């Protein structure tokens, strides 16, 4: 009954605080939308200046979606690159190829470099093949009775286990982002909610009544939990239905994972607010407790990390959440493959509940 009184009060307060409510419900959607258009936008074709290349090679380069700008005379590559805003210059001098990359954006440079190499390689292959055909013709002329099987160039078929050739970076990233925004905004609002209770002295006052510490923790958990559930549903459905984010597995599993994440974030927010004396100090927990979560959520490959980093990852709720979300949304796996992640998240929640009840001892011993 005391818990219900607390829940009622939190609900009234939340509904009256329109701005916080808007932050919780709308801000994640805005950020998600921006990221969606940022990350799934087509990259522009790289611009390459070419000097002294054969027509065939230029054609190959154009086939690889490179904008080729031919130069008759090339004095200073650097000047040309700056003047014409090129991503690189390719100079051909007899057998020597010189590729100068601007490298102001390493990712563009990498793409350009690999495309140029591919073009050169396929051009070379073509030449080789022509040479071979000539050699064969020569052979057959001289030895008409010997059957010779000419090797055909192998055809490469690419197939994908997860996603397809149209998959963008955002498709792989979006499950993690959805989870992270749920995590972040729930953390922020629950933490500041209880903090306000601490700084205005009402928590002290509350503890002069017969309310038990666990009543307070559960009251907060359920009160803010209700809003966290609504927020999670809005974020997930917006991502899937409006932004049309790729989701291969079950939508309900996605909702389930996000609800677990919201639960952990809620409890973490309440817990950390015990160690903050003001909203500003609460903000200071964001770079310490929240931002690192992103690093270990699966955006960067965990397997490649140093061993001690991998150990840290195991302590991050987002590591499990991100993993489960990618499994369901991108790989289309079922509940069996995510249930361990969910158990770990619930484990985090349980530990945080205990710690919260304990942390309130600072305010009252019993």
Partner 1 sequence: MTSTIVLNQVSKSFGKKTVLNKVSISVHSGEIFGLIGPSGSGKTTLVKMIVGMDQPTNGEIQVLNTPVPNLYLSQKIGYMAQADALYNDLTGRENLTFFASLYKLNKGVQKERIAYAADLVGLTHQLSKRVQNYSGGMKRRLSLAIALIHDPELLILDEPTVGIDPKLRKSIWEEINRLKMEGKTILITTHVMDEAEKCDKLAMVRDGEIISSGSPLELKNQYQISSLEEVFLLAGGEKDENNRLN
Interface with partner 1 (CB under 8 A): 1-2, 4-5, 8-9, 12-13, 16-17, 200-202, 204-212, 363-366
- Helix (H) / strand (E) element for 100: namely strand 96-101
Q: Which residue has the tokens 């070419």?
A: 50
Rg (CA), the chain: 30
Length of the chain: 366
**φ, ψ for residue 50 (rounded to 5)?**
-125, 135
- What is the closest distance, in whole angstroms, from the C-beta atom of residue 193 to partner 1 in the complex? 11
Q: Are the C-beta atoms of residues 228 and 263 closer than 8 Å to each other?
A: yes
Bridge partners (DSSP) of residue 69 are: 49
Minimal distance, residue 363 CB to partner 1, in Å = 7
Q: Minimal CA–CA distance to 269: which of 346, 189, 213?
A: 189
Least Cβ distance, residue 302 to partner 1 (angstroms) = 43
- Shortest spacing between CB 1 and partner 1, in angstroms: 6
**Beta carbon nearer to partner 1, 156 or 366:** 366
Nearer to partner 1, 11 or 234 (CB): 11
Residue with Cβ nearer partner 1 (82 or 205) = 205
Helix spans in the chain (H)? 2-16, 18-40, 55-63, 77-84, 106-142, 169-199, 202-206, 213-237, 251-273, 279-283, 285, 291-294, 307-313, 317-325, 335-359
10 contacts 189 by C-beta, under 8 angstroms = no
User: Is 3 or 77 the residue whose CB approaches partner 1 more closely?
Assistant: 3
CB of 281 to partner 1, least distance (A): 20
Q: Which is nearer to partner 1, 206 or 261 (CB)?
A: 206
CB of 253 vs partner 1, minimal distance in Å: 37
Q: In terms of CB distance, is 147 or 210 closer to partner 1? A: 210
Do 190 and 224 meet the contact criterion of CB atoms below 8 Å apart?
yes
């Amino acid at each position: 009954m005391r818990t219900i009184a607390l829940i009622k009060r939190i609900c009234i307060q939340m509904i009256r605080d329109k701005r916080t409510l808007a932050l919780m419900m709308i801000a994640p959607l805005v950020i998600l939308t921006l990221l969606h258009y940022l990350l799934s936008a087509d990259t522009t074709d790289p611009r390459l200046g070419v000097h002294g290349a054969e027509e065939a090679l230029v054609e190959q380069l154009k086939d690889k979606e490179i904008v080729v700008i031919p130069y008759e005379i090339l004095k200073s590559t650097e000047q040309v690159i700056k003047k014409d805003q090129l991503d690189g210059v390719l100079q051909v001098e007899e057998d020597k190829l010189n590729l100068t990359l601007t490298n102001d954006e390493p990712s563009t440079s990498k793409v350009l470099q690999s495309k140029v190499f591919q073009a050169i390689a396929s051009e070379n292959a073509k030449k080789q093949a022509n040479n071979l055909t000539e050699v064969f013709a020569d052979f057959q002329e001289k030895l008409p009775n010997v059957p010779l099987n000419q090797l055909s160039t192998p055809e490469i078929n690419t197939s994908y286990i997860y996603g397809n050739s149209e998959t963008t970076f955002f498709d792989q990233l979006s499950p993690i982002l959805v989870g992270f925004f749920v995590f972040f905004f729930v953390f922020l609002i629950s933490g500041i909610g209880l903090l306000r209770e601490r700084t205005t002295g009402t928590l002290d006052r509350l503890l002069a009544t017969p309310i038990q510490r666990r009543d307070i923790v559960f009251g907060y958990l359920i009160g803010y939990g209700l809003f966290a559930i609504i927020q999670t549903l809005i974020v997930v459905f917006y991502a899937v239905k409006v932004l049309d984010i790729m989701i291969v597995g079950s939508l309900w599993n996605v909702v389930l994972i996000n609800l677990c994440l919201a639960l952990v974030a809620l409890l973490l927010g309440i817990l950390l607010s015990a160690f903050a004396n003001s909203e500003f100090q609460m903000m200071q927990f964001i770079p310490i407790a929240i931002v690192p979560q992103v690093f270990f959520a699966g955006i960067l490959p965990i397997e490649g990390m140093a061993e001690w980093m991998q150990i840290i990852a195991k302590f991050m709720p987002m590591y499990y959440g991100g993993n489960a979300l990618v499994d369901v949304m991108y790989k289309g796996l079922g509940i069996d493959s995510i249930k361990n992640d969910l158990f770990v998240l619930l484990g985090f929640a349980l530990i945080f509940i205990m710690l919260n009840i304990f942390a309130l001892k600072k305010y009252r011993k019993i």
